[in-house]
Amino acid sequence: MSIASAVSTGSGEAAPASAIAVCTTVRAGDPAGLRVRDMLDRVGDKWSLYVVARLGEGTKRFSALQRDGNGISHRVLTVTLRTLERDGIVTRTVHPVVPPRVDYALTEMGAGLLVAVGPLLDWAAGHTEDIDRARDAFDGARR
């Protein structure tokens, strides 16, 4: 089966081959693929892209990220930010004031990541109702 015939346009028809972007950077069995998969696991977890998207709006304090985090726990946000900082996606700036103030911002690489995943985030936001309907239909057929 070709990639084009495996991808549906949503109307039940196969997408034209010209509409499909194929990754040519990583091939099966390529050791670099393990590094790519590791990075995709990192940024594709439950909270990383959400944090990157919020920081795309501008520098934020920890408390603002947690408040806007739709239920993210203090510990999970801490781990997510630390991991993104370690990977060079986020910077952490501690201001020498009392009480301490810590700001988080996207690095240049983080901004590039947001550009790359922005269409995915837009797609997800634009298809929530479609996905809900598909899930309801699937679940109803299994009852």
Q: What is the CA radius of gyration of the chain?
A: 19
Could you tell me the two tokens for 65?
A: 């990220």
Taking CB atoms within 8 Å and a gap of at least 24, the contacts of 82-85 are 83/42, 83/48, 84/48, 84/51, 84/52, 84/110
What is the 8-class DSSP label of residue 92? E
Could you tell me the two tokens for 101?
A: 């103030």
Second-level CATH architecture of 44-141: Orthogonal Bundle (1.10)
Q: Who has greater pLDDT, 11 or 6?
A: 11
- The whole-angstrom distance between residue 123's C-alpha and the CA centroid of its chain comes to 12
Degrees, nearest 5: CA angle 92-96-101: 55
| C-alpha neighbours within 13 Å on the C-beta side of residue 24 | 2
Q: Who has greater pLDDT, 131 or 69?
A: 131
Q: Who has greater pLDDT, 10 or 90?
A: 90
Residue 33 phi, psi dihedral angles, 5° rounding = -60, -35
Q: Is the pLDDT of residue 11 over 70?
A: no
Confidence tier at 42 by pLDDT (50, 70, 90): confident
Confidence tier at 17 by pLDDT (50, 70, 90): low
What's the pLDDT at 5?
Answer: 36
Q: Is the pLDDT of residue 136 over 60?
A: yes
What's the pLDDT at 142?
Answer: 83
Summary mean pLDDT of the chain: 84
Closest among 107, 103, 63 to 87, alpha carbons compared: 107
Contact 81, 92 (CB under 8 A): yes
Degrees, nearest 5: CA angle 22-25-87: 115
- The whole-angstrom distance between residue 46's C-alpha and the CA centroid of its chain comes to 8
